[in-house]
Protein backbone atom coordinates (compact mmCIF):
# COMPACT_ATOMS: atom_id res chain seq x y z
CA UNK A 1 0.00 0.00 0.00
CA UNK A 2 2.83 2.36 0.94
CA UNK A 3 4.67 1.50 -2.28
CA UNK A 4 1.60 2.35 -4.36
CA UNK A 5 1.20 5.74 -2.66
CA UNK A 6 4.88 6.42 -3.18
CA UNK A 7 4.59 5.44 -6.82
CA UNK A 8 1.60 7.73 -7.37
CA UNK A 9 3.44 10.61 -5.71
CA UNK A 10 6.53 9.96 -7.86
CA UNK A 11 4.34 9.77 -10.96
CA UNK A 12 2.60 13.05 -10.14
CA UNK A 13 5.90 14.79 -9.43
CA UNK A 14 7.39 13.37 -12.65
CA UNK A 15 4.44 14.64 -14.69
CA UNK A 16 4.73 18.08 -13.13
CA UNK A 17 8.47 18.20 -13.79
CA UNK A 18 7.99 17.01 -17.38
CA UNK A 19 5.29 19.59 -17.94
CA UNK A 20 7.40 22.42 -16.53
CA UNK A 21 10.56 21.35 -18.37
CA UNK A 22 8.74 20.97 -21.67
CA UNK A 23 7.14 24.34 -21.25
CA UNK A 24 10.32 26.15 -20.25
CA UNK A 25 12.73 24.48 -22.67
CA UNK A 26 10.55 24.64 -25.71
CA UNK A 27 12.72 25.30 -28.79
CA UNK A 28 11.86 28.46 -30.65
CA UNK A 29 11.19 26.65 -33.87
CA UNK A 30 10.12 23.07 -34.55
CA UNK A 31 9.19 22.05 -38.06
CA UNK A 32 5.67 20.94 -38.94
CA UNK A 33 6.93 17.55 -40.17
CA UNK A 34 8.79 16.92 -36.91
CA UNK A 35 5.71 17.81 -34.89
CA UNK A 36 3.57 15.51 -36.99
CA UNK A 37 6.01 12.60 -36.44
CA UNK A 38 6.10 13.28 -32.70
CA UNK A 39 2.31 13.53 -32.51
CA UNK A 40 1.72 10.34 -34.51
CA UNK A 41 4.29 8.37 -32.54
CA UNK A 42 3.01 9.47 -29.13
CA UNK A 43 -0.61 8.82 -30.19
CA UNK A 44 0.34 5.32 -31.33
CA UNK A 45 2.22 4.75 -28.07
CA UNK A 46 -0.75 5.90 -26.00
CA UNK A 47 -3.08 3.73 -28.06
CA UNK A 48 -0.91 0.64 -27.57
CA UNK A 49 -0.57 1.29 -23.83
CA UNK A 50 -4.32 1.78 -23.49
CA UNK A 51 -4.98 -1.44 -25.40
CA UNK A 52 -2.62 -3.48 -23.22
CA UNK A 53 -3.97 -1.93 -20.01
CA UNK A 54 -7.57 -2.53 -21.06
CA UNK A 55 -6.76 -6.19 -21.71
CA UNK A 56 -4.97 -6.31 -18.35
CA UNK A 57 -7.95 -4.72 -16.69
CA UNK A 58 -10.23 -7.43 -18.04
CA UNK A 59 -7.81 -10.09 -16.84
CA UNK A 60 -7.61 -8.40 -13.41
CA UNK A 61 -11.39 -8.23 -13.16
CA UNK A 62 -11.58 -11.94 -13.98
CA UNK A 63 -8.93 -12.78 -11.40
CA UNK A 64 -10.65 -10.59 -8.80
CA UNK A 65 -13.97 -12.39 -9.30
CA UNK A 66 -12.21 -15.75 -9.15
CA UNK A 67 -10.46 -14.90 -5.88
CA UNK A 68 -13.59 -13.36 -4.43
CA UNK A 69 -15.60 -16.53 -5.16
CA UNK A 70 -12.83 -18.74 -3.74
CA UNK A 71 -12.87 -16.74 -0.50
CA UNK A 72 -16.68 -16.62 -0.38
CA UNK A 73 -16.80 -20.40 -0.79
CA UNK A 74 -14.54 -20.81 2.22
CA UNK A 75 -16.36 -18.35 4.47
CA UNK A 76 -19.39 -20.52 5.50
CA UNK A 77 -17.06 -23.08 7.06
CA UNK A 78 -15.41 -20.38 9.14
CA UNK A 79 -18.72 -18.84 10.09
CA UNK A 80 -20.22 -22.10 11.30
CA UNK A 81 -17.18 -23.83 12.81
CA UNK A 82 -14.20 -21.61 13.57
CA UNK A 83 -16.24 -18.52 14.40
CA UNK A 84 -19.19 -19.90 16.27
CA UNK A 85 -21.11 -17.47 18.50
CA UNK A 86 -19.77 -19.17 21.63
CA UNK A 87 -16.15 -18.89 20.44
CA UNK A 88 -16.50 -15.25 19.47
CA UNK A 89 -18.16 -14.41 22.76
CA UNK A 90 -15.66 -16.29 24.90
CA UNK A 91 -12.62 -14.81 23.09
CA UNK A 92 -14.11 -11.31 23.20
CA UNK A 93 -14.83 -11.68 26.92
CA UNK A 94 -11.25 -12.84 27.53
CA UNK A 95 -10.02 -9.60 25.96
CA UNK A 96 -11.98 -7.50 28.43
CA UNK A 97 -9.77 -8.52 31.35
CA UNK A 98 -6.42 -7.29 30.01
CA UNK A 99 -8.11 -4.17 28.66
CA UNK A 100 -9.36 -3.23 32.13
CA UNK A 101 -6.30 -4.45 34.01
CA UNK A 102 -3.87 -2.43 31.88
CA UNK A 103 -6.03 0.68 32.09
CA UNK A 104 -5.55 0.51 35.88
CA UNK A 105 -1.85 -0.31 35.59
CA UNK A 106 -1.28 2.63 33.22
CA UNK A 107 -2.70 5.00 35.84
CA UNK A 108 -0.41 3.58 38.50
CA UNK A 109 2.88 3.72 36.63
CA UNK A 110 5.28 6.63 36.47
CA UNK A 111 7.89 5.12 34.14
CA UNK A 112 7.18 6.30 30.59
CA UNK A 113 8.50 3.14 28.87
CA UNK A 114 6.24 1.00 31.04
CA UNK A 115 3.25 3.25 30.45
CA UNK A 116 3.75 3.21 26.72
CA UNK A 117 3.90 -0.61 26.72
CA UNK A 118 0.61 -0.78 28.66
CA UNK A 119 -1.01 1.80 26.39
CA UNK A 120 0.01 -0.26 23.38
CA UNK A 121 -1.62 -3.29 24.96
CA UNK A 122 -4.84 -1.35 25.62
CA UNK A 123 -4.95 -0.07 22.03
CA UNK A 124 -4.43 -3.52 20.58
CA UNK A 125 -6.85 -5.31 22.91
CA UNK A 126 -9.44 -2.64 22.10
CA UNK A 127 -8.87 -3.14 18.38
CA UNK A 128 -9.32 -6.90 18.73
CA UNK A 129 -12.36 -6.40 20.93
CA UNK A 130 -13.96 -4.23 18.25
CA UNK A 131 -13.24 -6.87 15.60
CA UNK A 132 -14.79 -9.60 17.74
CA UNK A 133 -17.82 -7.38 18.41
CA UNK A 134 -18.26 -6.88 14.65
CA UNK A 135 -17.96 -10.62 14.03
CA UNK A 136 -20.50 -11.28 16.78
CA UNK A 137 -22.89 -8.74 15.30
CA UNK A 138 -22.56 -10.34 11.84
CA UNK A 139 -23.14 -13.82 13.21
CA UNK A 140 -26.20 -12.79 15.20
CA UNK A 141 -27.70 -10.95 12.23
CA UNK A 142 -26.96 -13.86 9.96
CA UNK A 143 -28.84 -16.19 12.30
CA UNK A 144 -31.69 -13.74 12.69
CA UNK A 145 -30.97 -13.17 16.38
CA UNK A 146 -31.10 -9.82 18.15
CA UNK A 147 -27.80 -7.99 18.63
CA UNK A 148 -25.95 -8.70 21.86
CA UNK A 149 -24.60 -5.84 23.97
CA UNK A 150 -22.02 -8.14 25.56
CA UNK A 151 -18.94 -6.63 23.94
CA UNK A 152 -20.38 -3.33 22.69
CA UNK A 153 -21.48 -2.24 26.18
CA UNK A 154 -17.83 -2.29 27.28
CA UNK A 155 -16.80 0.25 24.65
CA UNK A 156 -16.32 3.95 25.16
CA UNK A 157 -17.73 6.40 22.62
CA UNK A 158 -14.53 6.54 20.53
CA UNK A 159 -14.24 2.78 20.37
CA UNK A 160 -17.92 2.52 19.50
CA UNK A 161 -17.33 4.82 16.51
CA UNK A 162 -14.53 2.51 15.35
CA UNK A 163 -16.91 -0.43 15.79
CA UNK A 164 -19.58 1.26 13.65
CA UNK A 165 -17.04 2.12 10.96
CA UNK A 166 -15.59 -1.39 10.80
CA UNK A 167 -19.09 -2.87 10.79
CA UNK A 168 -19.95 -0.71 7.77
CA UNK A 169 -16.79 -1.81 5.95
CA UNK A 170 -17.96 -5.43 5.84
CA UNK A 171 -19.87 -5.33 2.59
CA UNK A 172 -19.08 -8.68 1.03
CA UNK A 173 -19.00 -12.10 2.60
CA UNK A 174 -15.25 -12.49 2.09
CA UNK A 175 -14.54 -9.17 3.86
CA UNK A 176 -14.83 -11.02 7.16
CA UNK A 177 -11.53 -12.74 6.31
CA UNK A 178 -9.86 -9.34 6.28
CA UNK A 179 -11.15 -8.82 9.79
CA UNK A 180 -10.08 -12.26 11.00
CA UNK A 181 -6.65 -11.75 9.43
CA UNK A 182 -6.45 -8.36 11.17
CA UNK A 183 -7.19 -10.06 14.53
CA UNK A 184 -4.44 -12.62 13.92
CA UNK A 185 -1.97 -9.92 12.80
CA UNK A 186 -2.58 -7.86 15.92
CA UNK A 187 -2.10 -10.91 18.09
CA UNK A 188 0.73 -12.97 16.67
CA UNK A 189 4.14 -12.42 18.18
CA UNK A 190 7.15 -12.14 15.94
CA UNK A 191 9.60 -14.96 16.58
CA UNK A 192 12.60 -12.78 16.93
CA UNK A 193 13.88 -9.58 18.37
CA UNK A 194 14.24 -7.47 15.28
CA UNK A 195 16.87 -4.91 14.49
CA UNK A 196 14.11 -2.59 13.26
CA UNK A 197 12.20 -3.23 16.48
CA UNK A 198 11.59 0.44 17.13
CA UNK A 199 10.00 0.99 13.73
CA UNK A 200 7.93 -2.13 13.46
CA UNK A 201 4.60 -2.73 15.13
CA UNK A 202 5.00 -5.29 17.90
CA UNK A 203 2.41 -8.02 18.33
CA UNK A 204 -0.03 -8.06 21.23
CA UNK A 205 1.05 -11.53 22.32
CA UNK A 206 4.63 -10.34 22.53
CA UNK A 207 3.60 -7.17 24.41
CA UNK A 208 1.57 -9.22 26.90
CA UNK A 209 4.49 -11.59 27.47
CA UNK A 210 6.77 -8.61 28.01
CA UNK A 211 4.35 -7.09 30.49
CA UNK A 212 4.11 -10.42 32.35
CA UNK A 213 7.92 -10.37 32.82
CA UNK A 214 7.62 -6.85 34.22
CA UNK A 215 4.71 -7.66 36.52
CA UNK A 216 6.48 -10.77 37.78
CA UNK A 217 9.54 -8.71 38.55
CA UNK A 218 7.52 -5.99 40.28
CA UNK A 219 5.67 -8.60 42.29
CA UNK A 220 9.05 -9.90 43.49
CA UNK A 221 10.31 -6.41 44.31
CA UNK A 222 7.41 -4.73 46.09
CA UNK A 223 4.31 -6.92 45.74
CA UNK A 224 2.74 -4.00 43.82
CA UNK A 225 1.14 -6.11 41.14
CA UNK A 226 -0.11 -8.76 43.54
CA UNK A 227 -0.45 -11.90 41.49
CA UNK A 228 -1.78 -9.98 38.50
CA UNK A 229 0.85 -11.62 36.31
CA UNK A 230 -0.66 -15.01 37.10
CA UNK A 231 -4.13 -13.97 35.91
CA UNK A 232 -2.78 -12.14 32.88
CA UNK A 233 -0.52 -15.09 32.11
CA UNK A 234 -3.51 -17.43 32.14
CA UNK A 235 -5.61 -15.08 29.99
CA UNK A 236 -2.71 -14.73 27.53
CA UNK A 237 -2.37 -18.49 27.29
CA UNK A 238 -6.12 -18.92 26.70
CA UNK A 239 -6.18 -16.19 24.08
CA UNK A 240 -3.14 -17.66 22.37
CA UNK A 241 -4.70 -21.08 22.13
CA UNK A 242 -7.91 -19.66 20.64
CA UNK A 243 -6.21 -17.31 18.17
CA UNK A 244 -3.50 -19.78 17.17
CA UNK A 245 -6.26 -22.18 16.18
CA UNK A 246 -7.78 -19.54 13.88
CA UNK A 247 -4.35 -18.59 12.56
CA UNK A 248 -3.45 -22.21 11.76
CA UNK A 249 -6.73 -22.66 9.92
CA UNK A 250 -6.13 -19.45 7.91
CA UNK A 251 -2.65 -20.61 6.96
CA UNK A 252 -3.90 -24.07 6.04
CA UNK A 253 -6.51 -22.56 3.72
CA UNK A 254 -4.00 -20.08 2.23
CA UNK A 255 -6.26 -17.19 3.24
CA UNK A 256 -3.42 -14.65 3.78
CA UNK A 257 -2.11 -15.30 0.25
CA UNK A 258 -5.58 -15.06 -1.26
CA UNK A 259 -6.24 -11.80 0.60
CA UNK A 260 -2.95 -10.35 -0.57
CA UNK A 261 -3.74 -11.30 -4.18
CA UNK A 262 -7.24 -9.88 -4.02
CA UNK A 263 -5.86 -6.68 -2.59
CA UNK A 264 -3.38 -6.42 -5.48
CA UNK A 265 -6.18 -7.06 -7.96
CA UNK A 266 -8.30 -4.45 -6.25
CA UNK A 267 -5.50 -1.87 -6.51
CA UNK A 268 -4.96 -2.70 -10.18
CA UNK A 269 -8.59 -2.33 -11.13
CA UNK A 270 -9.13 0.69 -8.91
CA UNK A 271 -6.25 3.06 -8.43
CA UNK A 272 -4.34 1.99 -11.53
CA UNK A 273 -7.47 2.28 -13.65
CA UNK A 274 -7.96 5.92 -12.63
CA UNK A 275 -4.28 6.66 -13.15
CA UNK A 276 -4.55 5.17 -16.64
CA UNK A 277 -7.55 7.32 -17.32
CA UNK A 278 -5.88 10.51 -16.18
CA UNK A 279 -2.32 10.08 -17.43
CA UNK A 280 -2.86 8.03 -20.58
CA UNK A 281 -6.43 8.34 -21.81
CA UNK A 282 -6.61 12.13 -21.45
CA UNK A 283 -3.36 12.92 -23.35
CA UNK A 284 -4.39 10.28 -25.90
CA UNK A 285 -7.69 12.09 -26.49
CA UNK A 286 -5.92 15.45 -26.69
CA UNK A 287 -3.58 14.01 -29.34
CA UNK A 288 -6.53 12.58 -31.27
CA UNK A 289 -8.20 15.99 -31.25
CA UNK A 290 -5.05 17.80 -32.37
CA UNK A 291 -3.98 15.33 -35.06
CA UNK A 292 -6.56 16.32 -37.73
CA UNK A 293 -6.06 20.02 -36.99
CA UNK A 294 -2.28 19.92 -37.37
CA UNK A 295 -1.19 21.88 -40.37
CA UNK A 296 1.81 24.08 -41.06
CA UNK A 297 -0.27 27.03 -39.88
CA UNK A 298 -1.47 25.49 -36.59
CA UNK A 299 1.81 23.71 -35.74
CA UNK A 300 3.17 26.68 -33.85
CA UNK A 301 0.00 26.94 -31.76
CA UNK A 302 -0.03 23.24 -30.79
CA UNK A 303 3.71 22.61 -30.44
CA UNK A 304 3.87 22.97 -26.64
CA UNK A 305 0.94 20.63 -26.03
CA UNK A 306 2.42 18.08 -28.45
CA UNK A 307 5.77 18.07 -26.71
CA UNK A 308 4.17 17.72 -23.26
CA UNK A 309 1.98 14.78 -24.33
CA UNK A 310 4.91 13.12 -26.10
CA UNK A 311 6.96 13.30 -22.90
CA UNK A 312 3.96 11.92 -21.02
CA UNK A 313 3.89 8.96 -23.40
CA UNK A 314 7.44 8.07 -22.29
CA UNK A 315 6.25 8.10 -18.65
CA UNK A 316 3.29 6.03 -19.82
CA UNK A 317 5.66 3.30 -21.03
CA UNK A 318 7.29 3.20 -17.57
CA UNK A 319 3.82 3.05 -16.02
CA UNK A 320 2.92 0.18 -18.34
CA UNK A 321 5.99 -1.81 -17.28
CA UNK A 322 5.06 -1.35 -13.64
CA UNK A 323 1.49 -2.32 -14.38
CA UNK A 324 2.62 -5.51 -16.11
CA UNK A 325 4.94 -6.29 -13.19
CA UNK A 326 2.03 -5.91 -10.74
CA UNK A 327 -0.22 -8.03 -12.93
CA UNK A 328 2.32 -10.84 -13.17
CA UNK A 329 2.43 -10.97 -9.38
CA UNK A 330 -1.31 -11.57 -9.11
CA UNK B 1 19.84 -26.97 8.11
CA UNK B 2 17.25 -27.52 10.81
CA UNK B 3 14.33 -29.73 9.79
CA UNK B 4 10.88 -28.16 9.83
CA UNK B 5 9.43 -29.87 12.92
CA UNK B 6 12.50 -28.85 14.91
CA UNK B 7 12.15 -25.33 13.56
CA UNK B 8 8.57 -25.18 14.72
CA UNK B 9 9.46 -26.53 18.15
CA UNK B 10 12.26 -23.98 18.43
CA UNK B 11 9.89 -21.21 17.43
CA UNK B 12 7.40 -22.32 20.09
CA UNK B 13 10.21 -22.51 22.65
CA UNK B 14 11.30 -18.95 21.95
CA UNK B 15 7.72 -17.67 22.03
CA UNK B 16 7.16 -19.40 25.37
CA UNK B 17 10.38 -18.08 26.89
CA UNK B 18 10.31 -14.47 25.79
CA UNK B 19 13.30 -12.37 26.71
CA UNK B 20 12.30 -9.69 29.25
CA UNK B 21 11.96 -6.24 27.63
CA UNK B 22 15.12 -4.64 28.99
CA UNK B 23 14.29 -1.25 27.46
CA UNK B 24 11.28 -1.14 29.82
CA UNK B 25 12.59 -3.10 32.81
CA UNK B 26 15.84 -1.19 33.29
CA UNK B 27 14.19 2.25 33.70
CA UNK B 28 11.72 0.67 36.18
CA UNK B 29 14.48 -0.90 38.26
CA UNK B 30 16.56 2.25 38.06
CA UNK B 31 13.66 4.26 39.49
CA UNK B 32 12.87 1.61 42.11
CA UNK B 33 16.54 1.42 43.09
CA UNK B 34 16.31 -2.35 43.51
CA UNK B 35 15.27 -5.52 41.74
CA UNK B 36 18.59 -6.45 40.09
CA UNK B 37 18.65 -9.83 41.79
CA UNK B 38 15.11 -10.59 40.66
CA UNK B 39 16.00 -9.62 37.10
CA UNK B 40 19.11 -11.78 37.02
CA UNK B 41 17.16 -14.69 38.52
CA UNK B 42 14.51 -14.27 35.81
CA UNK B 43 17.12 -14.13 33.04
CA UNK B 44 19.01 -17.10 34.46
CA UNK B 45 15.81 -19.20 34.65
CA UNK B 46 14.81 -18.15 31.14
CA UNK B 47 18.17 -18.97 29.58
CA UNK B 48 18.45 -22.31 31.38
CA UNK B 49 15.01 -23.29 30.03
CA UNK B 50 15.93 -22.07 26.55
CA UNK B 51 19.30 -23.83 26.40
CA UNK B 52 17.89 -27.08 27.81
CA UNK B 53 14.98 -26.91 25.35
CA UNK B 54 17.29 -26.16 22.42
CA UNK B 55 19.68 -28.99 23.31
CA UNK B 56 16.78 -31.39 23.47
CA UNK B 57 15.19 -30.25 20.22
CA UNK B 58 18.43 -30.14 18.26
CA UNK B 59 20.04 -33.13 19.94
CA UNK B 60 23.05 -31.11 21.08
CA UNK B 61 24.45 -33.70 23.46
CA UNK B 62 28.13 -32.72 23.57
CA UNK B 63 29.40 -30.34 26.23
CA UNK B 64 32.33 -28.98 24.24
CA UNK B 65 32.97 -25.39 23.22
CA UNK B 66 31.82 -25.92 19.63
CA UNK B 67 28.41 -27.19 20.76
CA UNK B 68 28.20 -24.33 23.21
CA UNK B 69 29.02 -21.87 20.41
CA UNK B 70 26.33 -23.43 18.24
CA UNK B 71 23.68 -23.17 20.97
CA UNK B 72 24.70 -19.59 21.71
CA UNK B 73 24.57 -18.67 18.02
CA UNK B 74 21.06 -20.12 17.60
CA UNK B 75 19.88 -18.25 20.67
CA UNK B 76 21.32 -14.99 19.34
CA UNK B 77 19.73 -15.55 15.91
CA UNK B 78 16.32 -16.17 17.41
CA UNK B 79 16.58 -12.95 19.35
CA UNK B 80 17.42 -11.26 16.04
CA UNK B 81 20.77 -10.06 17.30
CA UNK B 82 23.38 -9.19 14.71
CA UNK B 83 26.65 -10.98 15.27
CA UNK B 84 29.59 -12.48 13.45
CA UNK B 85 32.00 -15.22 14.52
CA UNK B 86 35.56 -14.10 15.21
CA UNK B 87 37.22 -17.18 16.58
CA UNK B 88 36.33 -20.80 17.29
CA UNK B 89 38.68 -23.42 18.72
CA UNK B 90 38.47 -26.37 21.13
CA UNK B 91 38.80 -24.12 24.14
CA UNK B 92 37.70 -20.69 23.02
CA UNK B 93 35.14 -18.90 20.91
CA UNK B 94 34.45 -15.25 20.38
CA UNK B 95 31.93 -13.24 18.42
CA UNK B 96 31.40 -9.62 17.48
CA UNK B 97 27.91 -8.33 18.31
CA UNK B 98 26.63 -5.27 16.49
CA UNK B 99 23.17 -5.12 18.06
CA UNK B 100 22.00 -6.18 21.49
CA UNK B 101 18.93 -5.37 23.65
CA UNK B 102 21.02 -3.06 25.86
CA UNK B 103 21.45 -0.51 23.07
CA UNK B 104 17.66 -0.16 22.87
CA UNK B 105 17.53 1.03 26.47
CA UNK B 106 16.54 4.70 26.48
CA UNK B 107 18.98 7.60 26.32
CA UNK B 108 17.74 8.79 29.72
CA UNK B 109 19.49 5.86 31.37
CA UNK B 110 23.14 6.65 32.04
CA UNK B 111 26.04 4.64 30.60
CA UNK B 112 27.03 3.59 34.12
CA UNK B 113 23.61 2.10 34.79
CA UNK B 114 23.60 0.40 31.39
CA UNK B 115 27.05 -0.93 32.07
CA UNK B 116 25.96 -2.33 35.45
CA UNK B 117 22.95 -4.09 33.90
CA UNK B 118 25.05 -5.36 31.00
CA UNK B 119 27.34 -7.07 33.54
CA UNK B 120 24.40 -8.49 35.47
CA UNK B 121 22.67 -9.85 32.37
CA UNK B 122 25.79 -11.26 30.72
CA UNK B 123 26.85 -12.88 34.02
CA UNK B 124 23.44 -14.53 34.30
CA UNK B 125 23.78 -15.81 30.74
CA UNK B 126 27.26 -17.15 31.48
CA UNK B 127 25.99 -18.89 34.62
CA UNK B 128 23.15 -20.46 32.63
CA UNK B 129 25.63 -21.73 29.99
CA UNK B 130 27.98 -23.06 32.67
CA UNK B 131 25.21 -24.91 34.48
CA UNK B 132 23.48 -26.35 31.42
CA UNK B 133 26.77 -27.50 29.83
CA UNK B 134 28.29 -28.59 33.12
CA UNK B 135 31.38 -26.50 32.41
CA UNK B 136 32.51 -24.96 35.68
CA UNK B 137 35.73 -23.73 34.15
CA UNK B 138 33.95 -21.67 31.49
CA UNK B 139 34.77 -17.97 31.64
CA UNK B 140 33.51 -15.11 29.55
CA UNK B 141 34.42 -11.52 28.88
CA UNK B 142 32.53 -8.75 27.14
CA UNK B 143 33.98 -5.34 26.32
CA UNK B 144 30.67 -3.35 26.43
CA UNK B 145 31.76 -1.33 23.39
CA UNK B 146 28.19 -1.08 22.05
CA UNK B 147 27.01 0.73 25.16
CA UNK B 148 29.94 3.10 24.88
CA UNK B 149 28.92 3.92 21.31
CA UNK B 150 31.27 1.73 19.29
CA UNK B 151 29.90 -0.36 16.44
CA UNK B 152 30.67 -3.78 17.86
CA UNK B 153 31.00 -5.53 21.19
CA UNK B 154 33.36 -8.50 21.45
CA UNK B 155 32.24 -11.42 23.60
CA UNK B 156 34.70 -14.22 24.32
CA UNK B 157 34.07 -17.55 26.01
CA UNK B 158 36.97 -19.64 27.17
CA UNK B 159 37.52 -22.91 28.98
CA UNK B 160 40.22 -22.38 31.57
CA UNK B 161 41.65 -25.87 32.00
CA UNK B 162 43.94 -25.40 35.00
CA UNK B 163 41.51 -23.67 37.20
Q: Work out the minimum CA distance from A120 to partner chain B, whole angstroms.
A: 13
3-state secondary structure chain B: CCCHHHHHHHHHHHHHCCCCCHHHHHHHHHHHCCCHHHHHHHHHHHHHHHHHHHHHHHCCCCCCHHHHHHHHHHHHHHCCCCEEEEEECCCEEEEEECCCHHHHCCCCCCHHHHHHHHHHHHHHHHHHHHHHHCCCCEEEEECCCCCCCCCCEEEEEEECCCC
Dump pLDDT digits (tens) for A103-135.
999 998 888 999 999 999 999 999 999 999 999
Identify the CA nearest to A306 among candidates A11, A58, A22.
Answer: A22
The partner residues of B139 in beta bridges, in order of sequence, read B158
Distance from CA of A93 to the nearest CA of B (A): 23
Bridge partners (DSSP) of residue B5 are: none
Length of chain B as a residue count: 163
Q: What is the pLDDT of residues B8-54, one digit of tens each?
A: 888 888 888 888 899 999 998 888 888 888 899 999 999 999 999 99
State whether A192 and B79 contact (CB < 8 Å). Answer: yes
pLDDT tier at A163 (50, 70, 90 boundaries)?
very high
Q: How many angstroms separate the CA of residue A77 from the nearest CA in chain B?
A: 27
Task: Check pLDDT > 80 for residue A150.
Answer: no
Sheet-wide strand order for B153-159 = B83-88, B92-97, B153-159, B138-142
Pairing outcome for strands B153-159 and B92-97 = antiparallel
| B23, B39, B80 member nearest A192 (Cβ) | B80
A29, pLDDT greater than 90? no
* ipTM above threshold 0.90: no
Q: How confident is the model at residue A139 (pLDDT cuts 50, 70, 90)?
A: confident
Per-residue pLDDT tens over the stretch B60-105:
988 889 999 999 888 888 877 888 999 999 899 999 998 888 888 8
**Per-residue pLDDT for B163 more than 70?**
no
- Does A211 score more than 60 pLDDT? yes
Query: Which residues 59-118 of B have a C-beta within 8 angstroms of A?
Result: 77-82, 99, 101, 104, 106
Instruction: Find the residue in B nearest to A237 (Cα).
Output: B16
Residues constituting chain A = 330
Q: Which of A14, A16, A18 is nearest to A307 (CA)?
A: A18
* pLDDT at residue B57, as a whole number: 92
pLDDT at position B114 over 60: yes
How does pLDDT run across A54-82, given as a tens digit for each residue? 888 888 888 888 898 888 888 888 877 78
Element (H, E) at A178: helix A175-187
Amino acid sequence: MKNSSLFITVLLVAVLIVFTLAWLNMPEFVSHTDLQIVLTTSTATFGTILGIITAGLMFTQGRFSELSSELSEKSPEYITKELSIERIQSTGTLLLFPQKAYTQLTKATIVSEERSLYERIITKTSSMLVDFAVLLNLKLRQQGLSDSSLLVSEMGSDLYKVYKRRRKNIKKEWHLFKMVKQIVDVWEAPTSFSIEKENEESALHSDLNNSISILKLKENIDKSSANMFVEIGQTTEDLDSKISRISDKLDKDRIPQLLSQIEQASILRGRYFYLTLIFIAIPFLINLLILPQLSAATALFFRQIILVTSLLSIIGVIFLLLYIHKMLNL
Amino acid sequence: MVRKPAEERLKALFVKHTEPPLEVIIPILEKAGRGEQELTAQIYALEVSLIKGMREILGLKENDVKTLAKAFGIMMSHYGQKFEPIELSESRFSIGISDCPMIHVGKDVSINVKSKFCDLICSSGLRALKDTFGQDSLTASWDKSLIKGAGKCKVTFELVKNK
